[in-house]
Amino acid sequence: MELNERILQLLRERKFSELKPIAASMNEVDLAEVFEELDTTELPILFRILPKDLAAAAFAELDRDTKETLIHKLTDFEIRSVMDELFLDDTVDLIEEMPANVVKRILSQSDKETRKYINDILKYPRDSAGSIMTIEYISLHSDMTVAEAFEKIRKKAIDSETIYTCYVTDNVNRLIGLVTAKKLMLSPKDITVGDIMDTNVIYSYTTDDREEVALKLTDYRFLALPIVDAEMRLVGIVTVDDAIDVIREETTEDIAKMAATASSDVPYLKTSVFEIWKNRIPWLLILMVSGTFTSLILNVYESRLNAISSVLFACVPMIMGTGGNCGSQASVTVIRSMSLGQLEGRDVLKVLLKELRASILLGVTLAAACFVKLILLDNMLFGFDGYTPVRCAVVSAALLLTVVLAKIVGCSLPFIAKLCRLDPAVVASPFITTIVDVLSLMIYCMLAIAVLA
């Protein structure tokens, strides 16, 4: 933080010769943070002080708004030079983020090859491996010697996202092997790449889901994963840093959905109040209106319940709440396991059986505790005399049934969602709460009337 303030100060006092070496020695991620604190007019000044490659690297790390503001302040020549320095996948991210007029300006300053590449990548579906891969990798041929391989690596190093995993292709560009820089370094200079390459290559297809690809890469602890087309031709790689971004984004999305809100790519403090409203209101409205079901049930049963005893009514929130908690425990556990790739559709029966057994254990524990609580707390301590042992038993029995039902609903909904090709996370907590609310209320009212009326 102190360093950031120092830079701001030097910039504002126009002590550029002092600022230059300090800024030039900084990491691009830290520089991006400084940029984001600057005023519109200061942005291009700091940008122009930096060495060209560092300026481009810092640019790639900026948030969307700062990027856009800065682009408006740069000359065509400067934009062209940023485009030259940027890795192609960062260029694609930029194109996807910017409004149409900015995109037009960026594309007009990119060379033909870059434009062609951008168009190719943008053709892949938004959630596919193709959309997150880069074509800036190093490919070798199996008949190259290790010395020749190093020659090629050195020549291509500047423009490659990673030089530490090199891919071996045949003469029609089909992926046939890989060799790490480590292996190359440890091998004699005169043997061929074909002799030392690993032919058991793990890869993904351009059309694979980007989350699956990111998970695969990290599960295997790779630094990069090759991406092939349907003919096994190598078309790109996904690097570990991009995989981490994907996982982080998808996790944020999952967590947001579990809390019944849409997620935004923008950090919280930069999200506008209206944006927050827009992200949250749809689910809140749906869930509020779905509360109609519970009020319907209550309207129907209320007088009959009250005729027995008003204390029965006071237990409604506790039963509904416990049901909701049980349901979301089960659903969230299942959803997380699914997104870590530990559970698949065919495991549904195993999960159901496990949840059934767990729910009986949990239900019995809770029902027993509830019975004791009603007698000791509500009856003896607070002195509400409606809590007779029989009524307490009915409440506890309803609780047991509710817990079992909530767990079954909670663990099966994610599977049903997956079957319907919906995102399991969407059906988590709040949606399940609504279903469980209705079911538990019906169980309770019907049980109470059947036994006590």
> Which one, 61 or 78, has the nearer CB to a second copy?
61
Minimum CB distance to a second copy smaller for 17 or for 299: 299
Binding positions for a second copy, 93-132, rule CB under 8 A:
none
**Residue 135 vs 287, nearer CB to a second copy:** 287
What would the two tokens of residue 45 be?
A: 């000044």
Q: Which of 64, 80, 152, 373 binds a second copy (CB under 8 A)?
A: 373
- The CA distance from 358 to 28, in Å, is 50
Q: How many CA atoms lie less than 13 Å away from 19 in the CB half-sphere?
A: 22
Q: Is 268 in the site for a second copy (CB under 8 A)?
A: yes
What residues between 389 and 448 interact with a second copy by CB under 8 A?
A: 399, 429-430, 433-434, 437, 441
Provide the 3-class DSSP secondary structure of residue 401.
helix
Q: Does 252 bind a second copy (CB under 8 A)?
A: yes
DSSP, res 270: G
Strands of the sheet containing 139-140, edge to edge, are 139-140, 165-169, 175-180
Nearest CA-CA partner of 235 in 165, 163, 175: 175
Contact (Cβ atoms closer than 8 angstroms) between residue 323 and residue 437: yes
Least distance from C-beta 57 to a second copy, angstroms? Answer: 10
Residue 342 in the binding site for a second copy (CB under 8 A): yes
Tally of CA atoms within 13 A in the half-sphere of 80 that contains its CB: 7
Which residues ranging from 273 to 292 are in contact with a second copy (CB under 8 A)?
273-274, 276-277, 280-281, 283-285, 287-289, 291-292
C-beta of 125 vs 188, nearer to a second copy: 188
212-231 residues in contact with a second copy (CB under 8 A) are 218-221, 223
Smallest separation, CB 28 to a second copy (Å): 9
Distances in Å between the alpha carbon of 301 and those of 12, 50, 278, 308, 441?
A: 71, 73, 37, 11, 10
Residue identified by tokens 């190598």 is 234
Q: Does 314 bind a second copy (CB under 8 A)?
A: yes
Minimum CB distance to a second copy smaller for 171 or for 292:
292
Tokens of 88: 């192609």
Applying CB under 8 A, among 4, 139, 333, 388 the residue interacting with a second copy is: 333
Pick the closest to residue 237 from 194, 196, 265, 202 (CA basis).
Answer: 202
Residue from the set 296, 380, 390, 416 that interacts with a second copy by CB under 8 A: 296
Nearer Cβ to a second copy, position 20 or 115?
Answer: 20
| Phi, psi for residue 174 in degrees, rounded to 5 | -80, 140
Q: Which stretch binds a second copy (CB under 8 A): 105-113, 131-139, 250-258, 416-424?
A: 250-258
Is the distance from CB of 330 to CB of 436 less than 8 angstroms? no
| Contact stretch for a second copy (CB under 8 A) within 39-47, 111-119, 126-134, 298-306 | 298-306
CB of 303 to a second copy, least distance (A): 7
Q: What span, in angstroms and rounded, lies between the C-alpha atoms of 256 and 266?
A: 13
Q: Which of residues 68-97 bind a second copy (CB under 8 A)?
A: none
Q: Which position among 114, 128, 322, 379 is part of the footprint of a second copy (CB under 8 A)? A: 322
344, two tokens: 């698949």
Please, what is the minimum distance in Å from the beta carbon of residue 262 to a second copy?
A: 10
User: Is residue 202 within the footprint of a second copy (CB under 8 A)?
Assistant: yes
- From the CB of 175, what's the least distance to a second copy, in Å? 15
Site for a second copy in 9-68 (CB under 8 A): 25-27, 29
Please tell me the count of residues contacting a second copy according to CB under 8 A.
111
> Strand pairing of 139-140 and 234-239?
unpaired
Q: Please identify which residue in 366, 394, 400, 427 interacts with a second copy, judged by CB under 8 A.
A: 366
Nearest distance from C-beta of residue 320 to a second copy, angstroms: 6
Q: How far is the CB of 257 from a second copy (least distance, A)?
A: 10
Binders in 164-193 for a second copy, by CB under 8 A: 164, 181-182, 185-186
Provide the b/e sequence for 309-322 (b: ≥16 CB within 10 Å): bebbbebbeebbeb
Contact call for residues 71 and 105 (beta carbons, < 8 A): yes
Lookup: tokens for 75: 């000359």
- Cα–Cα distance measured from residue 243 to residue 220, given in angstroms and rounded to the nearest whole number: 12
Interacting span for a second copy (CB under 8 A) from 116-124, 137-145, 167-175, 357-365: 357-365
Does the protein bind a second copy through residue 321 (CB under 8 A)? yes
- Region near a second copy per CB under 8 A, out of 6-14, 83-91, 108-116, 349-357: 349-357
Identify how many contiguous H helices and E strands the chain contains and give both numbers: 22, 6
Angstrom distance (rounded) from CA 402 to CA 327: 10
